[in-house]
Structure 1
Amino acid sequence: MWLPPVDRVADNELEAALSHLVRDGVYAQAMGALTGGVLLVGYALALGASNLVIGILAAIPFFAQLTQLPSILLVERLRARRLISVAGSVLGRLILIPLAFLPWIEAPELGRGLLVAGVAASAALGAMAGCSWNSWMHDLVPERRLGLFFANRLFYATSFTLLTGVAAGIFIDSWAQLDIGLPVHAYTVLFLLGSAAGAASILHLTQVPEPRMAPPERTIHLGRMLAEPFHDTNFRRLIWFLGTWQFTTNLAAPFFTVYLIAQLGYNMNFVLIMTVISQFANMLTLRKWGELSDRYSNKAVLALCSPVFLLCIFAWTLVSLPEKHAYTTALLVLLHVVMGCAVAGVTLAGGNIGLKLAPRGRGTAYLAASSIVNAVAAGIAPIIGGLFADDFAARELSLILRWTSGPEATEFVTLRLRHWDFFFLLSPLLGLYALHRLTLVDEAGHGHERAMMQEIVIETRRAVASLSSVAGLRLMNTFPFGRIVQAARAKRSRPRPPSRHGGEN
């Protein structure tokens, strides 16, 4: 068998494997940045896509998770997760190459249809690969290192994506200024570069060993396998939380790019800069969230980051209140910084808590069941958003204050909700229910949510108490990393222990 499983992974092999996984994550993230997210929305808009098409493109990656159903059977029958993951990744990423040449199709409707079909096929194959990858990582990465390892992996991947995003923004802007070809042709180059990054990711993935799966105790029945996680009370509660959370956030988040371009009038280069800022904040806080999740619990991190993210979605209604103004750009920068920090914690802890609560040896079924529920919830949300977007475009809710003095009257618009603002208000309201579901989940750990909150509050108070000095102000600006830097400096200032020969080092 090509890429066969192994009976045992030695310590040195594990360290080498984790190093390859970091590199795999870096290139995979770069591929996603160049062929998905903001750039995929920009590509679709350049091809003339409607709001409904944008919603469908946002929903495809989630509905593609349903292909984990046949993938579960494939994993249990072949018991070769690395082979399945690599094969699915190769096929899925090859599809990206013809998608790069859609601007040369003369029929615009056909081009948009092929874009949707191609993205769907690539995402479906990627989801099949992801199902086997999750089970593979569940048995490979030690539980005690889950938080910090995946935090480091996301840190390096996000760091590289920052550079990729900046370069992509400069490239698109330069392409338009140099008049090399049509603006949409810039996306052709980016898609081809993304395909190359995907190939580099696969090369590193092939170097990671796969622990052999334990022999099945009984005949595999897909229905029974998927039903088993729902009979586990605690894991069922986790599935409820993750599902409601995915629906809540994806009702609004996929349309941030459209909102910035269509309603606020910013260009794609500005949107990419905002994305880079958010990813930079994400990168800076990942390791801290990883440490906190290992020290306390993933639930503690979720309990802090989830409400912050919901408040950020609500704050999108305020950045242009009542109209776009001189401070809108500054508010957007601040908003993207806070969102980046919150998303880092939610993404890391939300992924790790499923890995942690799934029983050893049964991770495939548990994680697949969770992914399927998440996929359905997250896939329905942007389609609903796309369907109702045009309807909300013709509606407006305003709160007007009127000052009357004699025959003269002055009116002040204090609140104006229109188009996407309705989604940014509805999403956090629904999110309150998701937060309620989180409180019902039990997670064994070294601490509790309150203990972590107290630690962060203590750090904040110490920083605020020293604001009278320049050093204190600098410490506050770097929170929550100020305490880490301070501890590192104190460690360097300590006298070194004497050498074995009795002298000083």
Structure 2
Amino acid sequence: MTADAHGSPHAPSTDARAQRTRADLRAMLLDGFSFSVMVGIGESYLAPFALALGLGDVTAALVATAPMLAGGVLQLVTPAAVGWLGSHRRWVVLCASLQAASFVPLAAAALAGSMSPWLLFATASLYWGLGLAASPAWNTWAGTIVPASVRVRFFARRSRWAQAALLLGLVAGGAVLQLASEKGVPLAGYVAAFGVAFAARAISAFYLSRQSEPAPVPIGETRVSPAAIREHLRTGGHGRLLAYLLVFQASVYVAAPFFTPYMLGPLGYDYVGFTALTGAAFLARVAALPLLGRVTKRVGTRRVLWHASMWIVPLPLAWLVTDDFVWLFAVQLWSGVAWAAFELASLLSFFEHIPQRTRTSILSAYNLANAVAIAVGSVIGGVLLDAVGRGAAAYAAVLVASAIARFVALPLLRGMPDVVPASATPIPLRTIGLRPSAGALQRPVLAALDGEDDESGPGEPRAAVR
């Protein structure tokens, strides 16, 4: 065995571990970048694809939301799957590879020029099911790869890479679809977009496979524990908080999935306008988070959640003022900031102070409950749109109904837990979808909660409840 200058016989193994860690972190960055390209150029355009196929506005709205319920349910099989495969990495790579394959029938349908609604829903359910099923295992696995000393900084950097990639995918998709539409072959644009989405997720799966699995994590770290979920909901006002979040989310999604068909239908926007308005909300969300992190550290999550909820209530009504692009662009900036504040405060309130061994259970329960609320709200909106007649007046009815439902949910905010973060650095988030109504669907990177490189210092809690 070779010794270093100080005669240490352990230098080669230490160097090898450091080299392995650097390779892992590089692969994680490239995986996150590729995954986000897929979201930007693929998932973001599922609803417009349904419209391009002539499947109608209700189908276009529901295909962006209802399949998430499959993901919420399928993630519950993750513990058994990880145990059967004997590895978190194998399960995550398998899910990522099959998720990439879900774009093949979409591209084939675009090439053929038709697809049944049920096949579209089945394909979208496969996409969401595989994506969310990988999430608990990935969160657990990622925590074993990234050293605690750099965890917060690394995941913040990874988030920035992912945000840039997502915008790149969104803009590229909009440009390709607009060009194809102008040339009279709109579905050809979807063949290209979904082909790139397939390639991006396949590259993501490759880089996932290149990452090590330093220590086998006990299956218990990934198992969903009903007892842990019940305990969390009974303490600290978390049950009341979850009830509010679910009711408010259902109220929001009475209208949220219908913004895409509303823009591309009655408002008459093309793909450029759709992309610009969707991107505006996401950019505002990203830009506002650092400032919102500092505000939340100063005033606590309860006040931020209250003000954010108040800002979100009238948002649907703002779309009825005028269809002027400048006005709607400003509304989208407002929406992005409001939703950034809402999700930062709600995630901090709900996920801080959860022991590591129970985080996967809590996140799985949150994802499932959230998916149910989204599906319920979307179906209510679809029924209302159908009942009124699907014209501009029907969209107005859906938007007004959503605003009223949001307002009615506000009293549930009473008695919310108030968390004061020890760090002004927001929890790193994974963007799993883009929505014109809110900017993004995001989930917390639970592994980042154990970092020692934030302002709270090693071993100190990231937040305090008051």
TM superposition score normalised by structure 1: 0.70
CA distance in 2: counterparts of 1:92 and 1:250, whole angstroms: 25
2:46 aligned with 1:40: yes
Equivalent of 2:92 in 60, 77, 85: 85
- Give the partner amino acid of 1:48: G
The answer (yes or no) to whether the contact 2:297–2:422 under 8 Å persists in 1 is no
2:237 aligns to what SS in structure 1? helix
Amino acid at match of 1:257: T
Shift of residue 373, structure 1, vs aligned partner: 0.9
Alpha-carbon distance in structure 1 between the residues aligned to 2:294 and 2:155: 11
Partner of residue 359, structure 2: 363
Mapping for residues 342-491 of structure 1, pairs under 5 Å:
342-351=338-347, 353-393=349-389, 418-432=393-407, 434-446=409-421
Do structure 1's residue 100 and structure 2's residue 107 form an aligned pair? yes
| 8 A contact 2:175–2:271 mirrored in 1 | no
Q: Distance in 2 between matches of 1:203 and 1:85?
A: 11
Q: Who is 1:169 aligned against?
A: 174
Q: Judge conservation of contact 1:103–1:111 (CA < 8 Å) in 2.
A: no
Output the CA distance in 2 between the equivalents of 1:361 and 1:390. 46
Q: Which deviates more, 379-388 or 75-84?
A: 75-84
Distance 1:226 1:118 in 2: 31
Q: For structure 2, which runs of at least 5 residues remain unmatched after alignment?
A: 1-15, 425-466
Q: 1:317/1:139 Cα in 2 relative to 1: closer, same or farther (>3 Å)?
A: farther
**Distance (whole Å) between structure 1 residues aligned to residue 339 and residue 152 of structure 2:** 15
Q: 1:169 to 1:223 in 2, by over 3 A?
A: closer
Superposed counterparts of 1:198-237, under 5 Å: 198-209=201-212, 212=215, 215=218, 224=227, 227-232=230-235, 234-237=237-240
**What secondary structure is seen at the aligned counterpart in 2 of 1:263?**
coil
C-alpha distance in structure 1 between counterparts of 2:71 and 2:181, whole Å: 34
Q: 1:186: how far off?
A: 1.0
Q: How much has 1:155 moved relative to structure 2? A: 3.5
- Could you tell me whether the CA contact under 8 Å between 2:173 and 2:193 is conserved in 1? yes
**Change in 2 beyond 3 A, CA 1:95/1:163:** closer
What is the CA–CA distance in structure 1 between the aligned matches of 2:408 and 2:119, rounded to whole Å? 38
Quickly say closer, same or farther: Cα 1:102–1:229, change in 2 above 3 A: same
CA distance in 2, matches of 1:241, 1:425: 20
Q: Does 1:336 align with 2:332?
A: yes
Q: Secondary structure at the match of 1:440?
A: coil
Structure 2 SS opposite 1:358 = coil
Task: Give yes or no for the alignment of 1:27 onto 2:27.
Answer: no
Identity between Structure 1 and Structure 2 (%)? 25
TM-score, structure 2 normalization: 0.75
Letter matched to residue 184 of structure 1 = L
Change (3 A) 1:277 1:216: closer
The worse-fitting range, judged by mean Cα deviation, of 186-195 and 304-313 is 304-313
Rounded to whole Å, the distance in 2 between the matches of 1:133 and 1:126 is: 10
Name the counterpart of 1:61.
Answer: 68
Stretch moving more, 125-134 or 141-150: 141-150
Query: 1:296 Cα shift?
Result: 6.4
Does residue 318 of structure 2 align to residue 315 of structure 1?
A: yes
3-state SS, counterpart of residue 314 of structure 2: helix
Shift, 1:128, TM fit: 0.8
Corresponding letter in the other structure for 2:394: H
- Equivalent of residue 55 in structure 2, options 49, 54, 59: 49
Matching residue within 132, 136, 149 for 1:131:
136
8 Å contact from structure 1 (residues 65, 375) kept in 2: yes
Contact 1:151-1:348 within 8 A present in 2 as well: no
3-state SS in 2 of match to 1:101: helix
- Deviation of the 1:120 alpha carbon: 1.1
What CA deviation, in whole Å up to 9, does each residue of 1:349-404 have, x standing for no partner? 54455442432211121111111111111112112212221222379xxxxxxxxx
> Which segment is superposed worse, 64-73 or 228-237?
228-237
Deviations 1:208-239 (A, max 9, x none): 55564765789x78654654544445332342
Correspondence for 1:285: 288
- Asked whether the 8 Å contact 1:65–1:371 carries over to 2, the reply is yes
Q: For residues 180-231 of structure 1, what are the alpha-carbon distances to aligned partners after superposition, in whole Å with 9 as ceiling and x for unaligned? A: xx2112101100001111122223334555564765789x786546545444
Q: Structure 1 unaligned runs (5+)?
A: 1-8, 396-416, 450-505
Q: For 1:89 and 1:217, how far apart are their aligned partners in 2?
A: 22
**RMSD of aligned Cα (Å):** 3.7
Q: Residues of 1 paired with 2:203 and 2:316: CA distance?
A: 35
User: Take 2:106 and 2:132, find their aligned partners in 1: how far apart are those partners?
Assistant: 19
Q: Are the equivalent residues in 2 in contact too, given 1:155–1:283 (CA < 8 A)? A: no
Provide the residue aligned with 2:430 in structure 1.
none
Cα separation, partners in 2 of 1:138 and 1:343, compared to 1, 3 Å: farther
Alignment partners' CA distance in 2, 1:75 and 1:385: 37
Deviation, structure 1 residue 271 = 0.9
Mapped partners of 1:443, 1:72: distance in 2: 32
Q: Distance in 2 between matches of 1:126 and 1:424?
A: 30
For residues 34-67 of structure 1, what are the alpha-carbon distances to aligned partners after superposition, in whole Å with 9 as ceiling and x for unaligned?
Answer: 2223x21111111111233223312212442111
